[in-house]
Amino acid sequence: MKKKLIILLIACLIAAIGVNAAAQEDDLDGYEFNILAVDQMITAESGLILTSASALQNSGVGWSVLIHCGKESGNVFVVKQDVIEPTGTIPNISFAPGDIVIAIHSSTSNPDLADTYPNVFQKLNALKVKSGMYITLKNIDLAAKTASNGKAVVSMTKPEAPKDYNDLMGEMVEDPQYKLDVTAPAHYVPGQTLDVTITLKNVVPESGLSLIHFYLYYDADKVEPVVKNDNNLNEEMENFLITAPNRNKWEGISKLDEEQNRYDISFATASTDSAAKEDGSLVIKVPFKIKSTATGTIAWQVPHRMTEALDNDLNKVYGNGGFALSTLSTGTSSAPPKVPTGDPSSVYMLIASVIILAGITVAIRASVRRT
Protein backbone atom coordinates (compact mmCIF):
# COMPACT_ATOMS: atom_id res chain seq x y z
CA MET A 1 0.00 0.00 0.00
CA LYS A 2 2.82 2.37 0.89
CA LYS A 3 4.56 1.59 -2.38
CA LYS A 4 1.44 2.44 -4.36
CA LEU A 5 1.08 5.67 -2.41
CA ILE A 6 4.72 6.60 -3.08
CA ILE A 7 4.32 5.88 -6.79
CA LEU A 8 1.20 8.04 -6.86
CA LEU A 9 2.97 10.88 -5.07
CA ILE A 10 5.93 10.65 -7.47
CA ALA A 11 3.57 10.76 -10.45
CA CYS A 12 1.82 13.82 -9.01
CA LEU A 13 5.18 15.46 -8.34
CA ILE A 14 6.37 14.86 -11.91
CA ALA A 15 3.12 16.28 -13.24
CA ALA A 16 3.43 19.28 -10.96
CA ILE A 17 6.97 19.89 -12.12
CA GLY A 18 5.84 19.79 -15.76
CA VAL A 19 2.98 22.17 -15.09
CA ASN A 20 5.26 24.48 -13.13
CA ALA A 21 7.85 24.53 -15.93
CA ALA A 22 5.14 25.35 -18.48
CA ALA A 23 3.74 28.02 -16.18
CA GLN A 24 7.19 29.58 -15.75
CA GLU A 25 7.59 29.76 -19.51
CA ASP A 26 4.11 31.24 -19.93
CA ASP A 27 5.01 33.83 -17.28
CA LEU A 28 7.42 35.32 -19.81
CA ASP A 29 4.68 36.22 -22.29
CA GLY A 30 4.63 40.02 -22.22
CA TYR A 31 7.63 40.26 -19.88
CA GLU A 32 9.74 43.39 -20.42
CA PHE A 33 13.52 43.48 -20.15
CA ASN A 34 14.89 46.93 -19.38
CA ILE A 35 17.47 48.10 -21.92
CA LEU A 36 19.85 50.87 -20.88
CA ALA A 37 22.02 51.26 -23.97
CA VAL A 38 23.08 50.01 -27.41
CA ASP A 39 26.63 48.94 -28.37
CA GLN A 40 28.27 50.19 -25.16
CA MET A 41 30.05 48.63 -22.20
CA ILE A 42 27.69 46.78 -19.89
CA THR A 43 26.71 48.59 -16.71
CA ALA A 44 26.21 46.54 -13.56
CA GLU A 45 22.58 45.53 -12.93
CA SER A 46 21.33 46.57 -16.37
CA GLY A 47 20.43 45.43 -19.87
CA LEU A 48 22.29 46.09 -23.12
CA ILE A 49 21.78 45.42 -26.84
CA LEU A 50 24.70 44.60 -29.14
CA THR A 51 24.43 44.76 -32.93
CA SER A 52 27.73 43.30 -34.11
CA ALA A 53 30.45 40.80 -33.20
CA SER A 54 32.93 43.60 -32.55
CA ALA A 55 30.50 45.42 -30.24
CA LEU A 56 29.96 42.16 -28.39
CA GLN A 57 33.67 41.56 -27.81
CA ASN A 58 34.14 45.11 -26.51
CA SER A 59 31.10 45.10 -24.21
CA GLY A 60 32.36 43.31 -21.10
CA VAL A 61 29.33 41.00 -20.95
CA GLY A 62 31.17 37.88 -19.80
CA TRP A 63 29.00 37.68 -16.68
CA SER A 64 25.73 38.50 -18.43
CA VAL A 65 22.96 36.28 -19.77
CA LEU A 66 23.07 36.54 -23.58
CA ILE A 67 20.04 36.20 -25.87
CA HIS A 68 20.93 35.87 -29.56
CA CYS A 69 18.11 37.09 -31.84
CA GLY A 70 17.54 37.35 -35.59
CA LYS A 71 15.56 40.11 -37.24
CA GLU A 72 12.02 39.07 -38.17
CA SER A 73 10.47 42.35 -39.36
CA GLY A 74 10.47 45.96 -38.20
CA ASN A 75 11.29 45.97 -34.50
CA VAL A 76 10.40 42.30 -34.01
CA PHE A 77 13.13 39.68 -33.50
CA VAL A 78 13.06 35.90 -33.04
CA VAL A 79 15.30 34.15 -30.51
CA LYS A 80 17.73 31.97 -32.51
CA GLN A 81 18.94 29.69 -29.69
CA ASP A 82 18.47 29.05 -26.00
CA VAL A 83 20.18 31.63 -23.82
CA ILE A 84 23.92 31.56 -23.26
CA GLU A 85 24.54 31.45 -19.51
CA PRO A 86 27.34 33.58 -18.05
CA THR A 87 30.79 31.96 -17.61
CA GLY A 88 33.02 35.03 -17.28
CA THR A 89 34.14 34.71 -20.90
CA ILE A 90 32.53 36.48 -23.85
CA PRO A 91 31.61 33.82 -26.43
CA ASN A 92 32.12 34.13 -30.16
CA ILE A 93 28.73 34.64 -31.79
CA SER A 94 28.21 34.79 -35.54
CA PHE A 95 26.04 37.78 -36.46
CA ALA A 96 23.88 37.47 -39.57
CA PRO A 97 22.60 40.77 -41.06
CA GLY A 98 20.06 42.24 -38.65
CA ASP A 99 21.05 40.04 -35.70
CA ILE A 100 21.27 41.40 -32.17
CA VAL A 101 22.39 40.07 -28.79
CA ILE A 102 20.55 41.14 -25.66
CA ALA A 103 22.71 41.09 -22.53
CA ILE A 104 21.10 41.05 -19.08
CA HIS A 105 23.42 41.46 -16.08
CA SER A 106 23.07 40.95 -12.36
CA SER A 107 25.76 40.06 -9.84
CA THR A 108 23.56 37.45 -8.19
CA SER A 109 20.96 34.80 -8.93
CA ASN A 110 19.56 34.93 -5.40
CA PRO A 111 16.22 36.79 -5.34
CA ASP A 112 16.66 37.39 -1.59
CA LEU A 113 19.41 39.87 -2.48
CA ALA A 114 17.18 41.98 -4.72
CA ASP A 115 17.59 45.05 -2.50
CA THR A 116 21.33 44.99 -3.21
CA TYR A 117 21.16 43.65 -6.76
CA PRO A 118 17.91 45.05 -8.25
CA ASN A 119 18.33 43.40 -11.67
CA VAL A 120 18.28 39.86 -10.29
CA PHE A 121 14.72 39.15 -11.44
CA GLN A 122 15.58 40.36 -14.95
CA LYS A 123 18.47 37.90 -14.96
CA LEU A 124 16.35 35.01 -13.68
CA ASN A 125 13.73 35.66 -16.35
CA ALA A 126 16.39 35.98 -19.05
CA LEU A 127 17.52 32.45 -18.16
CA LYS A 128 14.04 31.18 -19.10
CA VAL A 129 14.13 32.51 -22.67
CA LYS A 130 14.03 29.73 -25.28
CA SER A 131 14.70 29.43 -28.98
CA GLY A 132 11.67 30.40 -31.06
CA MET A 133 10.32 33.06 -28.70
CA TYR A 134 9.91 36.59 -30.01
CA ILE A 135 11.33 39.90 -28.79
CA THR A 136 9.82 43.27 -29.68
CA LEU A 137 11.99 46.35 -29.12
CA LYS A 138 10.34 49.51 -27.81
CA ASN A 139 11.89 52.99 -27.51
CA ILE A 140 15.14 51.66 -28.97
CA ASP A 141 16.80 53.02 -32.12
CA LEU A 142 19.43 50.52 -33.26
CA ALA A 143 20.66 52.75 -36.10
CA ALA A 144 21.18 55.72 -33.80
CA LYS A 145 22.35 53.39 -31.01
CA THR A 146 20.04 54.95 -28.45
CA ALA A 147 17.61 53.65 -25.84
CA SER A 148 15.25 55.92 -23.92
CA ASN A 149 13.29 53.85 -21.40
CA GLY A 150 14.10 50.98 -23.74
CA LYS A 151 12.22 47.70 -23.47
CA ALA A 152 12.67 44.26 -25.01
CA VAL A 153 9.25 42.60 -24.73
CA VAL A 154 8.95 38.79 -24.86
CA SER A 155 6.10 36.97 -26.61
CA MET A 156 5.48 33.26 -27.16
CA THR A 157 4.11 33.80 -30.65
CA LYS A 158 4.90 36.25 -33.42
CA PRO A 159 3.28 39.61 -32.64
CA GLU A 160 0.75 40.79 -35.19
CA ALA A 161 1.49 44.03 -36.93
CA PRO A 162 -0.87 46.74 -35.69
CA LYS A 163 -3.70 47.57 -38.08
CA ASP A 164 -4.11 51.16 -39.15
CA TYR A 165 -7.66 50.58 -40.35
CA ASN A 166 -10.97 49.53 -38.80
CA ASP A 167 -11.40 45.76 -39.23
CA LEU A 168 -15.06 45.03 -40.03
CA MET A 169 -14.72 41.47 -41.31
CA GLY A 170 -16.19 39.64 -38.31
CA GLU A 171 -16.39 35.88 -37.92
CA MET A 172 -16.37 33.65 -40.98
CA VAL A 173 -19.46 31.68 -41.96
CA GLU A 174 -19.38 27.95 -41.24
CA ASP A 175 -19.86 25.70 -44.27
CA PRO A 176 -19.79 28.61 -46.77
CA GLN A 177 -21.56 28.02 -50.08
CA TYR A 178 -19.47 30.57 -51.98
CA LYS A 179 -16.65 33.08 -51.56
CA LEU A 180 -16.39 36.73 -52.58
CA ASP A 181 -12.77 37.50 -53.37
CA VAL A 182 -11.96 41.23 -52.98
CA THR A 183 -8.96 42.71 -54.76
CA ALA A 184 -7.59 46.23 -55.32
CA PRO A 185 -4.28 47.73 -56.47
CA ALA A 186 -1.57 47.09 -53.88
CA HIS A 187 -0.52 50.75 -53.99
CA TYR A 188 -2.34 54.01 -54.59
CA VAL A 189 -1.53 57.61 -55.49
CA PRO A 190 -3.55 60.45 -53.92
CA GLY A 191 -5.94 61.84 -56.51
CA GLN A 192 -6.12 58.71 -58.65
CA THR A 193 -9.23 56.67 -59.44
CA LEU A 194 -8.98 52.92 -58.95
CA ASP A 195 -11.27 49.89 -59.10
CA VAL A 196 -12.12 47.49 -56.30
CA THR A 197 -12.94 44.09 -57.80
CA ILE A 198 -15.26 41.50 -56.24
CA THR A 199 -15.04 38.03 -57.82
CA LEU A 200 -17.33 35.09 -57.11
CA LYS A 201 -15.49 31.85 -56.28
CA ASN A 202 -15.99 28.41 -54.72
CA VAL A 203 -19.68 28.05 -55.54
CA VAL A 204 -21.04 24.91 -53.86
CA PRO A 205 -24.67 24.57 -55.08
CA GLU A 206 -24.69 22.53 -58.29
CA SER A 207 -27.48 24.68 -59.68
CA GLY A 208 -25.33 27.78 -59.29
CA LEU A 209 -26.33 31.19 -57.91
CA SER A 210 -29.09 33.34 -59.39
CA LEU A 211 -28.79 36.22 -56.89
CA ILE A 212 -25.87 37.72 -54.98
CA HIS A 213 -26.12 40.44 -52.34
CA PHE A 214 -23.37 42.03 -50.25
CA TYR A 215 -22.16 45.23 -48.61
CA LEU A 216 -18.86 46.79 -49.70
CA TYR A 217 -17.33 49.04 -47.02
CA TYR A 218 -14.78 51.76 -47.77
CA ASP A 219 -12.75 54.30 -45.76
CA ALA A 220 -14.57 57.61 -46.17
CA ASP A 221 -11.63 59.55 -44.71
CA LYS A 222 -9.41 58.44 -47.59
CA VAL A 223 -11.63 57.73 -50.60
CA GLU A 224 -14.69 59.13 -52.35
CA PRO A 225 -17.23 56.91 -54.15
CA VAL A 226 -17.31 57.75 -57.86
CA VAL A 227 -20.85 56.52 -58.59
CA LYS A 228 -23.49 58.20 -56.44
CA ASN A 229 -27.23 57.64 -56.01
CA ASP A 230 -29.37 59.25 -58.74
CA ASN A 231 -32.59 59.30 -56.66
CA ASN A 232 -34.11 56.82 -59.10
CA LEU A 233 -32.94 53.32 -60.07
CA ASN A 234 -29.20 54.08 -59.80
CA GLU A 235 -28.81 52.80 -63.36
CA GLU A 236 -25.13 53.74 -63.52
CA MET A 237 -24.47 51.14 -60.81
CA GLU A 238 -25.54 48.51 -63.38
CA ASN A 239 -22.06 49.02 -64.81
CA PHE A 240 -20.53 47.53 -61.65
CA LEU A 241 -21.27 44.03 -63.02
CA ILE A 242 -18.74 43.47 -65.79
CA THR A 243 -18.86 39.67 -66.08
CA ALA A 244 -21.81 37.28 -65.77
CA PRO A 245 -23.22 34.28 -67.67
CA ASN A 246 -25.44 35.79 -70.37
CA ARG A 247 -24.63 39.24 -69.04
CA ASN A 248 -27.71 40.93 -70.54
CA LYS A 249 -29.96 38.61 -68.50
CA TRP A 250 -28.60 39.91 -65.19
CA GLU A 251 -29.96 43.08 -63.57
CA GLY A 252 -29.08 44.90 -60.38
CA ILE A 253 -30.44 46.99 -57.56
CA SER A 254 -27.66 48.83 -55.73
CA LYS A 255 -27.34 51.97 -53.67
CA LEU A 256 -24.73 54.04 -51.87
CA ASP A 257 -25.15 54.48 -48.11
CA GLU A 258 -22.76 57.32 -47.31
CA GLU A 259 -23.75 57.42 -43.64
CA GLN A 260 -22.53 53.83 -43.24
CA ASN A 261 -19.59 54.23 -45.67
CA ARG A 262 -20.74 51.34 -47.84
CA TYR A 263 -22.37 50.23 -51.06
CA ASP A 264 -25.38 47.90 -50.86
CA ILE A 265 -24.97 45.78 -54.01
CA SER A 266 -27.32 43.15 -55.48
CA PHE A 267 -27.45 41.43 -58.86
CA ALA A 268 -29.84 38.71 -59.99
CA THR A 269 -31.13 36.81 -63.00
CA ALA A 270 -34.53 35.26 -63.72
CA SER A 271 -33.01 33.06 -66.42
CA THR A 272 -32.44 29.49 -65.24
CA ASP A 273 -29.66 28.97 -67.79
CA SER A 274 -27.70 32.04 -66.60
CA ALA A 275 -26.80 30.99 -63.05
CA ALA A 276 -23.23 31.66 -61.86
CA LYS A 277 -21.40 28.40 -61.18
CA GLU A 278 -17.72 28.75 -62.02
CA ASP A 279 -14.92 30.75 -60.38
CA GLY A 280 -14.97 34.19 -61.96
CA SER A 281 -18.44 33.77 -63.47
CA LEU A 282 -19.49 36.95 -61.63
CA VAL A 283 -17.08 39.90 -61.52
CA ILE A 284 -18.07 43.26 -60.06
CA LYS A 285 -15.92 46.39 -60.20
CA VAL A 286 -16.56 49.52 -58.15
CA PRO A 287 -14.54 52.71 -58.79
CA PHE A 288 -13.27 55.02 -56.04
CA LYS A 289 -11.42 58.35 -56.13
CA ILE A 290 -8.48 58.55 -53.70
CA LYS A 291 -8.57 61.79 -51.71
CA SER A 292 -5.56 64.10 -52.01
CA THR A 293 -5.03 63.87 -48.23
CA ALA A 294 -5.00 60.05 -48.11
CA THR A 295 -2.15 58.35 -46.26
CA GLY A 296 -1.45 54.95 -44.76
CA THR A 297 -3.53 51.84 -45.50
CA ILE A 298 -6.89 51.89 -47.24
CA ALA A 299 -9.16 48.91 -46.56
CA TRP A 300 -11.95 47.64 -48.81
CA GLN A 301 -14.12 45.11 -47.00
CA VAL A 302 -17.03 42.78 -47.65
CA PRO A 303 -17.76 41.43 -44.13
CA HIS A 304 -18.33 37.68 -43.93
CA ARG A 305 -21.80 37.93 -42.42
CA MET A 306 -22.93 40.75 -44.67
CA THR A 307 -23.45 38.71 -47.82
CA GLU A 308 -26.11 36.22 -48.90
CA ALA A 309 -27.33 34.62 -52.09
CA LEU A 310 -29.99 32.46 -53.70
CA ASP A 311 -29.13 29.32 -55.60
CA ASN A 312 -30.89 28.56 -58.87
CA ASP A 313 -33.56 26.63 -56.93
CA LEU A 314 -34.29 29.79 -54.87
CA ASN A 315 -32.70 28.37 -51.69
CA LYS A 316 -31.07 31.00 -49.51
CA VAL A 317 -27.35 30.34 -48.96
CA TYR A 318 -24.51 32.12 -47.21
CA GLY A 319 -20.87 32.61 -48.04
CA ASN A 320 -17.77 34.45 -46.85
CA GLY A 321 -16.64 37.89 -47.92
CA GLY A 322 -13.13 39.23 -48.30
CA PHE A 323 -10.98 42.32 -48.04
CA ALA A 324 -8.16 44.10 -49.85
CA LEU A 325 -5.59 46.60 -48.63
CA SER A 326 -3.92 49.39 -50.61
CA THR A 327 -0.92 51.33 -49.32
CA LEU A 328 0.49 54.70 -50.31
CA SER A 329 2.95 54.61 -53.18
CA THR A 330 3.46 56.08 -56.65
CA GLY A 331 1.52 55.19 -59.78
CA THR A 332 -0.86 56.38 -62.42
CA SER A 333 -4.57 56.80 -62.29
CA SER A 334 -6.95 54.47 -64.08
CA ALA A 335 -10.51 55.02 -65.26
CA PRO A 336 -13.26 52.56 -64.36
CA PRO A 337 -14.48 50.43 -67.26
CA LYS A 338 -17.96 51.06 -68.69
CA VAL A 339 -19.82 47.94 -69.79
CA PRO A 340 -23.30 48.16 -71.34
CA THR A 341 -26.12 46.19 -69.74
CA GLY A 342 -29.54 45.03 -70.86
CA ASP A 343 -32.69 47.09 -70.62
CA PRO A 344 -34.47 47.13 -67.22
CA SER A 345 -37.09 44.39 -67.01
CA SER A 346 -39.25 42.49 -64.60
CA VAL A 347 -36.07 41.19 -63.01
CA TYR A 348 -36.07 44.37 -60.89
CA MET A 349 -39.21 43.09 -59.24
CA LEU A 350 -37.61 39.68 -58.72
CA ILE A 351 -34.59 41.20 -57.02
CA ALA A 352 -36.67 43.47 -54.82
CA SER A 353 -38.92 40.64 -53.67
CA VAL A 354 -36.02 38.28 -53.09
CA ILE A 355 -34.16 40.83 -50.98
CA ILE A 356 -37.26 41.35 -48.88
CA LEU A 357 -37.54 37.56 -48.53
CA ALA A 358 -33.88 37.25 -47.70
CA GLY A 359 -34.28 39.90 -45.01
CA ILE A 360 -31.07 41.77 -44.38
CA THR A 361 -31.90 41.82 -40.69
CA VAL A 362 -31.05 44.28 -37.97
CA ALA A 363 -29.17 41.50 -36.22
CA ILE A 364 -26.83 41.10 -39.18
CA ARG A 365 -26.18 44.83 -39.32
CA ALA A 366 -25.57 44.89 -35.58
CA SER A 367 -22.98 42.12 -35.89
CA VAL A 368 -20.84 44.34 -38.09
CA ARG A 369 -21.15 47.29 -35.74
CA ARG A 370 -19.86 45.09 -32.92
CA THR A 371 -16.72 44.07 -34.84
Q: Is there a single domain that holds both residue 82 and residue 34?
A: yes
Give the residue from 119, 114, 116 showing the smallest Cα distance to 65.
Answer: 119
CA 242-244-248 angle, to 5 degrees, is: 85
Domain contains 57: yes
Threshold 0.85, pTM exceeds: no
DSSP symbol at 92: P
144 and 246 housed in the same domain: no
- In this predicted structure, what is the pLDDT of residue 161? 67
Within 13 Å and on the Cβ side, how many CA atoms surround 330? 0
Q: Is residue 168 in a domain?
A: no
Q: What is the DSSP letter of 112?
A: G
What does the pLDDT read at residue 189? 94
Residue 4 is predicted with a pLDDT of 47
Question: Residues 96, 183: one domain?
Answer: no
Domain harbouring 276, CATH code: 2.60.40.680
pLDDT of residue 212: 98
Statement to judge: residues 111 and 246 lie in one domain: no
Boundary residue ending a domain (121, 155, 189) = 155
Strands 47-50 and 37-38: parallel
pLDDT digits (tens, 9 = 90+) for 214-240: 999 999 999 999 999 998 889 999 999
Report yes or no on 10 lying in a domain. Answer: no
Low-confidence stretches of the chain (pLDDT beneath 50)? 2-25, 331-371
**Residue 166: what pLDDT?**
85
Closest CA to 96 of 67, 120, 68, 116: 68
Report the amino acid identity of residue 143.
Answer: A
**From CA 331, how far away is CA 353, in angstroms rounded?**
43
- 174: in domain: no
Number of Cβ within 10 Å of residue 24's Cβ equals 12
CA nearest neighbour of 302 among 174, 183, 161: 183
| 247 and 147 both lie in a single domain | no
In a domain, 5, yes or no: no
The domain containing residue 216 runs over which residues? 179-370
Pair 133, 244 in one domain: no
Choose the final residue of a domain: 122, 155, 188. 155
Domain annotation covers residue 14: no
Is position 172 within any domain? no
Q: In this predicted model, what pLDDT tens digit does every residue of 270-279 receive, in sequence order? A: 999 999 999 9
Final residue of a domain: which of 85, 120, 155?
A: 155
Residue 194, domain member (yes or no) = yes
The number of domains in the chain is 2
